[in-house]
A and B are shown apart, each in its own frame.
Chain A
Amino acid sequence: MSGRTALAGKEVEDEEHLDVAEPESADEPGRRPRWPRVLGALLAVVLLATGGLLFAEGRELRDTPATGNLALTDAEATTRVTGDVSNALGRIFSYGPDATALAKDAAREVLAGKALQQYAALFGQVEKQAADQKLTLTTHVVRAGVTRLTGTGAHILVFLDQVYERRGRPATTASAQLSVTAELRGERWRIVEISSI
């Protein structure tokens, strides 16, 4: 209440002051002067603009190319995708001369899209080679790192070792570096593309 009274008193003062300074600017005698309204409107506009500007600045700080990539910033998803992909690679690229079916089944489970087609195209040769040469291949991931991660897609760099064992010959180890693209399908990450780098 006292605030209102004080405000009213101030307005009266302002009116008087205005009348003295610029008498012709008041529309009619007895009506309120226009300038407090103009000032108020201006202030409101300035405040709105400031708010907008600060918000835009905040967005710019937050939405950088760096923050668009969730690799490591989302620790749980990062661990999950590297785990799923490492497991998948180990399963589909490990087989024995009489145990290629296991890898084939695994491929249907962990691959999708282009990767599945490539694998299917390759698998005829693999089966033949494994049987003819009595070849056992064991693949394990040495290190995997996520280069790019979003809610549903990931790119992973994988260093892996492949041990080839042919009956009657010493085992040989080959190293490979793969770039893997994975997509989140339901609960699991599936590999949709594999390329050697």
Chain B
Amino acid sequence: MARAGKTRNPLVIAATALAVVAAGAAGWGGWQRYDAAHDDAASYAQARDDALAAGEQAVQNMNTLDHRTLEKGLDSWEESTTGDLHRQLVDGRDAFAKQIVAAKTVSTAKVLSGAVTELDERAGRAGVMVALRVTVTAPKGDPAVKESRMLGTLTRTSEGWKLSALGQAPVGSTAG
């Protein structure tokens, strides 16, 4: 046991190893946490899902209107939109309201399916396609049910994603 002084205490070695492992675990965990919080793919995926949810809701709002609660309905249209589309709605509101009051129609819409076709997270723009079923009830006659397919452009605002353009997907065009 002459070399006892040079032989390390196994307990010290174990304790040192534990300390290194523990410090490593904390450091690694911290890095994983930091990395996840700054993960571009995760934030992009979240933006895609946010845009789709907002887009589907907005398209549904834009296809829903009841002449008995006209002001509320038109407010919801304006709240769902931004940019040019919003401006057009505000400008044409009075004339459109008169038409609906005269026609006494009730429109309801149900989103059947939707997908985001493009997303530029940095520019805050997204393209969505939404298939929906619209039911229009006039004072006389049976309700008219039609399948509708719409293409919309969303723009991100401080209040979330809003429609900046909306139209029917063209039928019979030669695009392919």
Q: What is A's interface to B at a CB cutoff of 8 Å? A: 37, 40-41, 43-45, 47-48, 50-55, 57-59, 61-62, 64-67, 69, 71-73, 90, 140-147, 156-157, 159, 161, 163, 173, 175, 177, 179, 197
CB within 8 Å for A51 and B26 given contacts A143-B169, A197-B131: yes
B30 & A140 in contact (Cβ 8 Å cutoff)? no
CB within 8 Å for A147 and B171 given contacts A73-B45, A159-B149: no
Contacts of B103 in A (CB 8 A): none
B35 contacts A by Cβ under 8 Å: yes
Question: Closest approach, in angstroms, between the C-beta of A88 and any C-beta of chain B?
Answer: 14
Question: Closest approach, in angstroms, between the C-beta of A163 and any C-beta of chain B?
Answer: 7
**CA separation between A179 and B36, bound complex, in Å?**
33
CB within 8 Å for A51 and B30 given contacts A73-B41, A179-B113: yes
Contacts of B33 in A (CB 8 A): 54-55, 57-58, 61
CB within 8 Å for A177 and B44 given contacts A54-B33, A197-B113: no
Nearest-CB residue, chain A, relative to B133: A197
A-B residue pairs in contact (CB < 8 Å), sample of 29: A44-B22, A48-B25, A50-B26, A50-B29, A51-B25, A55-B32, A62-B36, A62-B39, A66-B49, A67-B45, A69-B49, A71-B115, A72-B119, A73-B45, A90-B176, A140-B175, A140-B176, A142-B176, A143-B117, A143-B151, A145-B114, A145-B129, A147-B113, A157-B114, A159-B169, A161-B171, A173-B171, A175-B149, A197-B131
A to B contact number (C-beta, < 8 Å): 145
B145 contacts A by Cβ under 8 Å: no
**CA separation between A66 and B49, bound complex, in Å?**
7
**CA separation between A115 and B119, bound complex, in Å?**
31
From A45, A53, A61, A73, B48 is in contact (CB under 8 Å) with A73
A62 & B129 in contact (Cβ 8 Å cutoff)? no
A58 & B29 in contact (Cβ 8 Å cutoff)? yes
B112 & A197 in contact (Cβ 8 Å cutoff)? yes
Contacts of B45 in A (CB 8 A): 64, 66-67, 69, 73
Question: Could you give, for residues 85-109 of chain B, a 1 whenever the CB lies within 8 Å of some chain A CB and a 0 otherwise?
Answer: 0000000000000000000000000
Contacts of A59 in B (CB 8 A): 32, 36
Segment among B13-21, B73-81, B153-161 that sits at the interface with chain A: B13-21
Nearest-CB residue, chain A, relative to B118: A72
Given A55-B33, A66-B45, A159-B131, 13 more pairs with CB closer than 8 A: A37-B15, A44-B18, A54-B32, A57-B36, A66-B42, A67-B42, A73-B45, A140-B175, A143-B169, A156-B115, A157-B114, A161-B172, A173-B172
From A44, A61, A145, B115 is in contact (CB under 8 Å) with A145
B147 contacts A by Cβ under 8 Å: yes
B112 & A47 in contact (Cβ 8 Å cutoff)? no
**CA separation between A16 and B35, bound complex, in Å?**
46
**CA separation between A54 and B31, bound complex, in Å?**
8
A177 & B26 in contact (Cβ 8 Å cutoff)? no
B173 contacts A by Cβ under 8 Å: yes
B129 & A52 in contact (Cβ 8 Å cutoff)? no
Question: Closest approach, in angstroms, between the C-beta of A54 and any C-beta of chain B?
Answer: 3
